[in-house]
Structure 1
Amino acid sequence: MTGGTAADLPPIRHNDYSPLDPPALGGWDPELSVSVIIPAHGGQHRLDLTLAALAAQTYPDHLMEVIVVDDGSEPPLRLPEIAPSGARIVTTGSSGWGIAHAVNTGAALAEGRIIQRLDADMVVCREHIEALARWHHLAGFLVTIGAKKFVEEPALTAARVHEGVRAGSLESLFDLSAALPSSTEQTISRTDGLRASRNPYHVCTGPTVSMRREIFRAVGGVDPGVLRGEDTEFAYRLAAHGVVFVPDMAAQAVHLGLPAQRRDPQRAVRVVAPYLAHRVPLRRDLRRDRGRHWLVPYVEVVLHVDGPEERVREAVGAALDGSLGDVVVTLVAPWSKLSGDRRPVLDDPLFDLRLLREHFAHDERVRFADEVSATPAPIPFRYTGPVSVPLGRDTLERMIRVMQDDRSGMLAVALGDDGEATLQRTEALGRARLLGADDVTASIEATHGVRHGDRPEFWPAGPTPPAPAKVPASPKAAAHGREPARPAVQRAPGQELGQEHGREQRGPGQEQRPRQEKQREQRRGEGKRQEGRDSLLGRLRTALRN
């Protein structure tokens, strides 16, 4: 029942986990151990109620440990009389502070196969841990989310909470009819349990969430540099890793106290915005400042160094100067061969490679790699294309728009003799890796879909302006070897280049050519007549002088 073998699981399309069939509560035998991590700062009474509820869980005691991480409480937190048998309190020490740091501290000490994050002011139902853990026995790439409602904190003792939870009824402890529903539950309901959600990580907001320990560590834990919105940023990286988010409404919980956002909603939103703007590229609404560089780019452009230096530089320039400026370029070549040892400068056998590296060594938007990394995470998209076909001005935007329309995981564009360009969704690539797929493209096709396109759709051929007609040089300009100035073309307001008076100009070989030939013949005839007049005048002047 431990599951997790990709070959034994039906394909899960996007976040539709419907093919998974969890066991009924109370009708199965758990095998995986669980470590419940509770970050806490003060609030001893609320912590007492949280631990009392955990002491009444249906999940086996010998498979559950509880680690309370005291994040600088004054006075220090203590372990109450009613608590799970495997509960202990640890401190964060002086190395850091905040929720993220506390969660990471507890996770580093965790021995359980499943990491369960829980707030220190939550009273959970008796099946809460069991309901979330049963999914992890099916597959190792799931993140499960519990339900929660907000209530005004009633006057309850730990003993009363323990008794009520063990009896199986949160209603006997709280007036749930007056509880404030969370936006999380509303979103889950609206998106068919997140099955139809485009970005299910949005509702993975921390207070009660669980995953396999290896998943937690693979994404690097929670970012301690994010002081607000750390749960959303962490969930975004989980999504980029390829996980499937599964909400389980049987994992009921009550949050003691109303949401902090109700005190000052505007300030609560403002404090989160800069953290997410830098770290969650999918939040395009937070990246409206033009000309900015962000911590996590929107697209990684992978270019294999192939061909002359000028062609590579042109491809890099096109990628960085496109309409989508939120990119980073990775140049793939054997850069590790470039040592700092003494060498001939002009006769260096790696002269071209060394020169190319120096061209981009000080541009923070250009990276160097000997090989393409397995995933660009947390960057949400990766483009790979030949340097012989530089990106068009809006090629990336066109490709992303197509993929976002149908939520495909990969777009492949045929480039004729130049090969192929691809745009991969990092989430789909991560899913293929979690499934251990030998054929990444086939895996992406099964889980997200692969779309194919043609070059003109993403590299449209723009109109080529006609060459200006040559103007005959004046005698004075010709005498000095100068090219005459070209007259400016006068256009009506709003008129595009290549159009005059609402009529498209004809190109070479069309009606314009006979007209131009006739004008040139006329100019040649005038020149000959002028030459004849000049010769006659010269003869007369000579005769008069004589």
Structure 2
Amino acid sequence: MTGGAANGLPPIRHNDYSPLRPPEIGAWDPSLPVSVIIPAHGGQHRLDLTLAALAAQTYPDHLMEVIVVDDGSRPPLRLPEIAPTGTRIVTADPGGWGIAHAVNTGAALAGGDILQRLDADMVVCREHIEALARWHHLAEHLVAIGAKKFVEEPRLTPEQVHEAVRTGSLEEVFDLSKALPSSTEQTIARTDGLRASRNPYHVCTGPTVSMRRETFHAVGGIDPEVLRGEDTEFAYRLAQRGVVFIPDMAAGAVHLGLPAQRRDRQRVVRAVTPYLAHRIPLRRDLRKDRGRRWLVPYAEVVLHVGEAAQEQVREAVNAALEGSVTDVLVTLVAPWSELSRGRRPVLGDPDFELRLMREHFGHDERVRLADAVSPTPAPTPFRYTGPVSVPLGHDSLERMISAVQADRSGLLVVGLPGAGPATLERAEAVGRALLLGARDPGEVAASIEVTHGVRHGAAKEFWPSGAIDGVTGGVGDGGGDITGTPPEAAPAATAAPAGTGHARPEPRRPASGDRSAPDKPAPGDRRQGKPVSGDRNQVRPAARRSLLARLRDGLRAD
């Protein structure tokens, strides 16, 4: 693993997938099986038309299965005469309901390497499945998005739709001149096919989207607790994992019926808002209430407390929680699970300081105690790691986040004289590095340099004047590296390769109308509180030399 290429592919900067060259439609031989998952609640006639269109696809029949998940339809849905050969209707798992629950049911039963989510009121063109699936033959970290237009549902038979799709003449049965274009497609066009979009997940809506099966399950599937906006929330978690979003207009489709927003936009927006506010921290416009506690914090502050004095740790924690960025979770890293619960001398306990610290912070929902740091902060978009001896200034974290938002860099390294470095990681950049095979801290840094850029800054840019004067390093002062390795535990290693330059500065605000503005734990991890010891999401840090030290060595070598 060098700078970010996987499977021999050229590296992708942010979401600019231009270096990828998919095969021409009709001029290649697919090999990956596709599972089309269709959640459905009623609407038998529309489903019949959807399946009729799928029965006329150019993708090989023996590589495609269709799973219709009946989400409580009354009467139950039936399999029509015209449908792909490998089509079956299953009922949603008991104990839940809704689109997300139905899709998760289908995904659990799917045997394909590619999962294609499709709504039960979509009539797709004959190349639709092929157009999206070709991207997934290139790499595993791509999410492909199909196109769609909204039409008033005409009176059509499944036979008419099947023949129109088979012959490539949808316009003969649908009056596409009166079709309503999707607002997401306007954003796609305005951002050069999402290549220039700052937050492309905003347009990854549910009616037609595909990805590798492993990608779907890696983020925990779709959250069944989100009843509106579940597709956007799911796409956000995919983004924090580091995927690349690719819209393919060759995957055309007609959506039967106008969007719900046309009927009652205000009510739709109100229904979506609380779900997204809690789960998508980048939607800062939805978190205007100061002092609130949100399900997924905007930033995580990691402090390796080691043997630091309790008062020093308290000062660092208070500084983090009382700063200008209030939407914060503090993680204190120490061997908490090694503290025995048996009889011991209370005052003469060799772990006296650590036990007091656990009692002091262990009941605060804004503070988490962890033995180690997870490989990525996702779904939290930013993670700060710094020395306990240098508390954050009131607006230090805000300044650091603003800096990486301005140039979209994936890692900010700030030198603190006498105390070591402080870093700010962007979750999507770390996620991309891990997806591309980076494991060693140096590999992670090298990958981030190529895909997002590494930015270096001086303490005076982010801390108030005089805030770090007289600071000296000491036990527990280490800032750690990308994977959470405390520098005091890290032996020497080969220097990481020097970077290839920073990301080009771009305006912080997107173009007018682009919902991909700067703006949860995955369904399996709903809490911000303290993880129990042995949490599978935690990994013991390897004993390596600090990534940041190696970065500095690499720069000196230049």
Q: Taking structure 2 as the reference length, what is the TM-score of the superposition? A: 0.81
- CA distance in 1: counterparts of 2:405 and 2:5, whole angstroms: 30
Counterpart in the other structure of 2:228: 228
Q: How big is each residue's C-alpha offset from its partner over 1:3-29, in whole Å with a ceiling of 9 and x where there is no partner?
A: x97151111000000000000000000
Counterpart in the other structure of 1:175: 175
Answer yes or no: is 1:202 the counterpart of 2:202. yes
**Secondary structure of 1:441's partner?**
helix
Counterpart in the other structure of 1:435: 436
- CA distance in 1: counterparts of 2:263 and 2:358, whole angstroms: 53
Q: Does the 8 A contact of 1:193 with 1:247 survive in 2?
A: yes
Answer yes or no: is 1:399 the counterpart of 2:403. no
Structure with max Cα Rg: 1
Counterpart in the other structure of 1:517: none
Counterpart in the other structure of 2:464: 460
Q: How big is each residue's C-alpha offset from its partner over 1:21-44, in whole Å with a ceiling of 9 and x where there is no partner?
A: 000000000011100000000000
Counterpart in the other structure of 2:355: 354
Query: What's the CA shift for 1:416?
Result: 1.4
Question: How many matched pairs?
Answer: 460
- CA distance in 1: counterparts of 2:106 and 2:295, whole angstroms: 27
Q: Does the 8 A contact of 1:242 with 1:431 survive in 2?
A: yes
- CA distance in 2: counterparts of 1:16 and 1:278, whole angstroms: 29
Query: What's the CA shift for 1:168?
Result: 1.2
Letter in 1 for 2:405: Q
- CA distance in 2: counterparts of 1:253 and 1:131, whole angstroms: 12
Q: Does the 8 A contact of 2:57 with 2:166 survive in 1?
A: yes
Counterpart in the other structure of 2:213: 213
- CA distance in 1: counterparts of 2:83 and 2:152, whole angstroms: 23
Query: What's the CA shift for 1:170?
Result: 1.4
Query: What's the CA shift for 1:349?
Result: 2.1
Q: Does the 8 A contact of 2:5 with 2:11 survive in 1?
A: no
Answer yes or no: is 1:188 the counterpart of 2:188. yes
Q: How big is each residue's C-alpha offset from its partner over 1:389-428, in whole Å with a ceiling of 9 and x where there is no partner?
A: 0000000110111111111111110001100000010000
- CA distance in 1: counterparts of 2:446 and 2:173, whole angstroms: 51
Counterpart in the other structure of 1:47: 47
Query: What's the CA shift for 1:242?
Result: 0.1
> Counterparts in 2 of 1:105-504, with a 5 A limit?
105-306=105-306, 307-437=308-438, 438=440, 439-461=443-465
Counterpart in the other structure of 1:526: none
- CA distance in 1: counterparts of 2:227 and 2:7, whole angstroms: 40
Letter in 2 for 1:126: R
Q: How big is each residue's C-alpha offset from its partner over 1:487-518, in whole Å with a ceiling of 9 and x where there is no partner?
A: xxxxxxxxxxxxxxxxxxxxxxxxxxxxxxxx
Q: Which residues of structure 2 form unaligned runs of 5+?
A: 468-558
Answer yes or no: is 1:101 the counterpart of 2:101. yes
- CA distance in 2: counterparts of 1:211 and 1:329, whole angstroms: 33
Q: Does the 8 A contact of 2:297 with 2:327 survive in 1?
A: yes
Counterpart in the other structure of 2:524: none
Letter in 1 for 2:112: G
- CA distance in 1: counterparts of 2:432 and 2:389, whole angstroms: 31
Counterpart in the other structure of 1:25: 25
Going from structure 1 to structure 2, the CA distance change for 1:293 and 1:176 (only over 3 Å counts) comes to same
What is the percentage of aligned positions where both structures have the same residue?
Answer: 79
Q: Does the 8 A contact of 1:298 with 1:326 survive in 2?
A: yes
Counterpart in the other structure of 1:501: none
Counterpart in the other structure of 1:467: none
Q: Does the 8 A contact of 2:415 with 2:459 survive in 1?
A: yes
**Secondary structure of 1:8's partner?**
coil
Query: What's the CA shift for 1:313?
Result: 1.2
Letter in 2 for 1:382: R
Query: What's the CA shift for 1:462?
Result: 6.9
**Secondary structure of 1:234's partner?**
helix
- CA distance in 1: counterparts of 2:358 and 2:217, whole angstroms: 34
Query: What's the CA shift for 1:388?
Result: 0.6
Query: What's the CA shift for 1:190?
Result: 0.5
Query: What's the CA shift for 1:187?
Result: 0.6
| Deviant stretches of 4+, over 4 Å | none
Query: What's the CA shift for 1:342?
Result: 2.3
Q: How big is each residue's C-alpha offset from its partner over 1:161-187, in whole Å with a ceiling of 9 and x where there is no partner?
A: 111101012112211111000001111
Counterpart in the other structure of 1:59: 59
Letter in 2 for 1:21: R
Letter in 2 for 1:206: G
Over aligned residues, Cα RMSD in angstroms? 1.2
- CA distance in 2: counterparts of 1:341 and 1:35, whole angstroms: 53
Letter in 2 for 1:112: G
- CA distance in 2: counterparts of 1:164 and 1:255, whole angstroms: 15
- CA distance in 2: counterparts of 1:5 and 1:125, whole angstroms: 33
User: Which stretch shifts more, 217-226 or 432-441?
Assistant: 432-441
Query: What's the CA shift for 1:372?
Result: 1.1
Q: How big is each residue's C-alpha offset from its partner over 1:335-383, in whole Å with a ceiling of 9 and x where there is no partner?
A: 1101322222222222111111100011001111111101111000000
- CA distance in 2: counterparts of 1:290 and 1:138, whole angstroms: 45
Letter in 1 for 2:410: G
**Secondary structure of 2:412's partner?**
strand
**Secondary structure of 2:170's partner?**
coil
Q: How big is each residue's C-alpha offset from its partner over 1:48-98, in whole Å with a ceiling of 9 and x where there is no partner?
A: 000000000010111111000000000000010100110000111431000
Letter in 2 for 1:412: V
- CA distance in 2: counterparts of 1:210 and 1:108, whole angstroms: 15
Q: Does the 8 A contact of 2:146 with 2:251 survive in 1?
A: yes
Query: What's the CA shift for 1:147?
Result: 0.2
Counterpart in the other structure of 2:83: 83
**Secondary structure of 2:369's partner?**
strand
Q: Which residues of structure 1 form unaligned runs of 5+?
A: 464-546
- CA distance in 2: counterparts of 1:265 and 1:143, whole angstroms: 28
**Secondary structure of 1:263's partner?**
helix
- CA distance in 1: counterparts of 2:384 and 2:316, whole angstroms: 13
- CA distance in 1: counterparts of 2:234 and 2:363, whole angstroms: 31
Higher relative contact order (CA 8 A, sep 6+): 2
- CA distance in 2: counterparts of 1:445 and 1:44, whole angstroms: 51
- CA distance in 1: counterparts of 2:340 and 2:230, whole angstroms: 40
Q: How big is each residue's C-alpha offset from its partner over 1:88-112, in whole Å with a ceiling of 9 and x where there is no partner?
A: 0011143100000000000000100
More helix by share: 1
Counterpart in the other structure of 2:517: none
- CA distance in 1: counterparts of 2:212 and 2:7, whole angstroms: 18
- CA distance in 2: counterparts of 1:325 and 1:5, whole angstroms: 37
- CA distance in 2: counterparts of 1:93 and 1:19, whole angstroms: 41
- CA distance in 2: counterparts of 1:124 and 1:64, whole angstroms: 15
**Secondary structure of 1:302's partner?**
strand
**Secondary structure of 1:420's partner?**
strand
Counterpart in the other structure of 1:475: none
Q: Does the 8 A contact of 2:6 with 2:436 survive in 1?
A: yes
Letter in 2 for 1:317: N
Going from structure 1 to structure 2, the CA distance change for 1:351 and 1:462 (only over 3 Å counts) comes to closer
Q: Does the 8 A contact of 1:5 with 1:139 survive in 2?
A: no
Q: Does the 8 A contact of 2:93 with 2:105 survive in 1?
A: no
